[in-house]
Amino acid sequence: MAEKLFTEFPPVPKQVWEDAIVKDLKGADYQKKLVWRTMEGFSVQPYYRAEDLKGLKNVGGQAGQFPFVRGTKDNNNWLIRQDYMVGKDFKAANALALDGMMKGVTAPGFDLSQTEKVLKADMRTLLKGIELKAVEVNFKGCKDLSVLKNFIAIAKENGVRPAAVRASFDYDPLKEMNSTGVYSKADASKLLVKAIELVNEFPNITVVGVYSYAFNDAGSTITQELAYGMNMGSEYLNLLTDAGLKADDAAKRIKFTVSISGNYFMEIAKFRAARLLWANIVKAYGAKKEDSCKIKVHAVTSAWNQTVYDPYVNMLRDTTEAMSGAIGGVDSMEVLPFDHAYKKPGEFSNRIARNVQSLLLDESHFNKVVDPGAGSYYIEELTDSIAKAAWDLFNSIEKAGGYVEAFKAEKIQDSIKETSLKRDSNIATRRDTLLGTNQFPNFTEVVEKEVTKKTVTRKAAPKKKAGMVGRPLEVYRGAMAFEELRFKTDKAKKRPMAFMVTYGNLAMCRARAQFACNFFAVAGFQVVDNNRFNSPEEGAKAALKAKADIIVACSSDDEYAAEVPAIAKIVGKKGIVVVAGDPACKDELIGKGIENFISVRSNVLETLKAYQEKLIK
């Protein structure tokens, strides 16, 4: 007879857990200590239980069932995409695509953003050797309808059945508005209606792009990217239905390009929430077929997260981001090469980017389980919370007249700017960690030769100019402020030296020396660590002998009050004395002329900038 496990253990009510937690906190504030107040507009509890799912409407169900929280299909397969810059060399781009497909790519993409014209002969060259009935082909940076017309012509020339052709084209006037500030409703309507007419007999070609990735590029939250992406999609549905198209015919031609940030669980939940929101939006426009309500999502790992210092860490970022996309149930995915931020990717970085997905598919078998996050108390709660927060933001923009009107009023730009400033502050103060950049840098790293000052310098915030309906979104990477700081040090004639004067309590002096070494190495300063000097005077003299620019006192609070002024007296004006920590005797030390302190409360970026300005001319 089968025996049920744990029946001898009675269920523990939630209140019992809560009482135990409060007791363990010993008077500390539960809300401040354990509840995570996210930037997404909601709070995350320290734990969840089965009873927390009772109030959620969209728990359960099956993949392929409206509103598609669990997926739009009955499997979890996705296409491995890699985009190739075309420029003027169509033959080279074709060769790269064929090579990629031999090595795992199942959805090659061609980037035409630097291509002026695509003639029929050019398209023939670009598609040579590519079986259109076997793979999905994607085009980004499409400037006019000649790309689409010539693709259709070559597909017919090759005798491929229209129903067998799978392709996407990113005709996306709102993307252009986001990046240039220029938009014409009449031109947008004419372009998109004509594009849809051209693919009338091709049921599996999408021609309307929704590039919500742009918001991640500008430093948005997950909620903002999701909500504003839905607003863009709604804007297109409104435009197309006003032009006489049925909601079903318009919706099935739309494809979203969405980012995957490093917020692992929230990104999984974001894709689940996206399916829910888009299904309800399309239905509200009068779609009759449930299939029309299925969102098509292409996901791309985040360029905003990438760094040029310690760039191999980008491989780790790419991997966790790709895992989120796979578990979240995307239709296709591109993993950006680890060196994408500073040079044209080569064979090695492209191979690693492809293989991340191949490993998830062929070795980790992420495609074998549909919606593996379903039933997880945490992911189900996150899905619901993100959907609600995004829906509220979506509705606020719709009430303001829709995406274009909100953009003209610069509500979108101001909202994202407010968020990006918070994110920048979190990075500057190390509340958020960019490994290898603002925390735990490689002390001896020599930056890649392809990295230039332009690579690490953030462009001035764009302003509204004549001809624009609103100011463009500001595109940057989160690491750029720290990268610019270190790059300046790397190019200086003399690299400043920070010397650790370690003395007194062994545990404290070593801990604070390690903290201080890490702190100054972030700016690329040379750091000299020491085990422990017999006295602070011995350490100060050693620092002067080494010609150190910054002399860092590293000891316990108890030993700072008397000894730091002694160190400062020996150093005089030959260096900058810095105290590692935020000691209880700080006011006393300030009264004795000690001005410099570094601690976990410091704004690392601003503090290092100040030292750099003093030491690098």
Q: What is the pLDDT of residues 458-488, one digit of tens each?
A: 999 999 999 999 999 999 999 999 999 999 9
User: Rounded to an integer, what distance in angstroms lies between the CA atom of residue 268 and that of residue 275?
Assistant: 12
DSSP state letters, 530-541: -S--SSHHHHHH
What's the token pair of residue 461?
């915030």
Do the bridges between strand 576-580 and strand 550-554 make them parallel or antiparallel, or are there none, so unpaired?
A: parallel
**Which amino acid, one-letter code, is at 378?**
Y
The stretches of 103-139 forming alpha helices (DSSP H) are: 120-126
Q: Is the pLDDT of residue 79 over 80?
A: yes
What's the token pair of residue 324?
């989120």
pLDDT confidence of 197, banded at 50, 70, 90? Answer: very high
Q: Is the pLDDT of residue 37 over 70?
A: yes
**CA 245 to each of CA 235, 238, 253, 503, 575: distance values in angstroms, whole numbers, following the listed order:** 14, 10, 11, 77, 73
Mean pLDDT of 261-277: 98
What's the token pair of residue 112?
């035409």
Q: What confidence tens digit (pLDDT) does each residue in 380-426 have?
A: 999 999 999 999 999 999 999 999 999 999 999 999 999 999 999 99
DSSP state letters, 339-374: TTTTS---HHHHHHHHHHHHIIIIIS-GGGSS-TTT
Q: What pLDDT, on a 0 to 100 scale, did the predictor assign at position 7?
A: 74
Q: What pLDDT, on a 0 to 100 scale, did the predictor assign at position 5?
A: 72
Q: Is the pLDDT of residue 1 over 60?
A: no
Q: What pLDDT, on a 0 to 100 scale, did the predictor assign at position 69?
A: 97
Q: What confidence tens digit (pLDDT) does each residue in 126-151 have?
A: 999 999 999 999 999 999 999 999 99
**Which amino acid, one-letter code, is at 481?**
A
As a whole number of Å, the end-to-end CA separation of the chain is 82
Lowest mean pLDDT among 48-57, 101-110, 247-256, 381-390: 48-57
Q: What pLDDT, on a 0 to 100 scale, did the predictor assign at position 531?
A: 94
Q: What pLDDT, on a 0 to 100 scale, did the predictor assign at position 396?
A: 98
User: Rounded to an integer, what distance in angstroms lies between the CA atom of residue 64 and that of residue 74?
Assistant: 6
**pLDDT cut 70: percent of the chain above it:** 99
Q: What pLDDT, on a 0 to 100 scale, did the predictor assign at position 373?
A: 94
Mean pLDDT of 276-287: 98
What's the token pair of residue 253?
């031609």
pLDDT confidence of 617, banded at 50, 70, 90? Answer: confident
Question: SS3 letters for 33-77?
Answer: HHCEECCCCCEECCCCCHHHHCCCCCCCCCCCCCCCCCCCCCCCC
Q: What pLDDT, on a 0 to 100 scale, did the predictor assign at position 613?
A: 97
- Give Dmax over CA atoms of the chain in angstroms: 88
Residues 277, 387: contact at Cβ < 8 Å? yes
Mean pLDDT of 582-593: 96
Mean pLDDT of 25-49: 95
Average per-residue pLDDT in the chain? 96
Q: What confidence tens digit (pLDDT) does each residue in 91-112 have?
A: 999 999 999 999 999 999 999 9
Question: SS3 letters for 144-190?
Answer: CCHHHHHHHHHHHHCCCCHHHCEEEEEECHHHHHHHHCCCCHHHHHH
Helix, strand, or coil (residue 548): coil
Q: What confidence tens digit (pLDDT) does each residue in 211-237 have?
A: 999 999 999 999 999 999 999 999 999
Mean pLDDT of 168-173: 98
Mean pLDDT of 504-523: 97
Count of positions (residues) in the chain = 617
Long-range CB pairs of 454-463, under 8 A, 24+ apart, other chains included:
455/308, 455/341, 455/342, 455/483, 456/308, 456/480, 456/483, 456/484, 456/487, 457/484, 458/484, 461/417, 462/181
Q: Is the pLDDT of residue 265 over 80?
A: yes
Query: If phi over 0 gives left and psi between -120 and 50 gives alpha, with beta otherwise, what is residue 248?
Result: alpha
Mean pLDDT of 237-242: 98
Look-up: residue for tokens 């894709």? 271
Q: Is the pLDDT of residue 572 over 80?
A: yes
**CA 612 to each of CA 196, 486, 492, 520, 548: distance values in angstroms, whole numbers, following the listed order:** 56, 10, 10, 10, 14
Q: What confidence tens digit (pLDDT) does each residue in 348-385 have?
A: 999 999 999 999 999 999 999 999 999 999 999 999 99
Q: What pLDDT, on a 0 to 100 scale, did the predictor assign at position 2?
A: 64
Helices and strands (H, E) in the chain, number of each type? 23, 15
DSSP annotation of 461: P
Q: What pLDDT, on a 0 to 100 scale, did the predictor assign at position 9?
A: 80
Do the bridges between strand 43-44 and strand 36-37 make them parallel or antiparallel, or are there none, so unpaired?
A: antiparallel
Q: Is the pLDDT of residue 4 over 90?
A: no
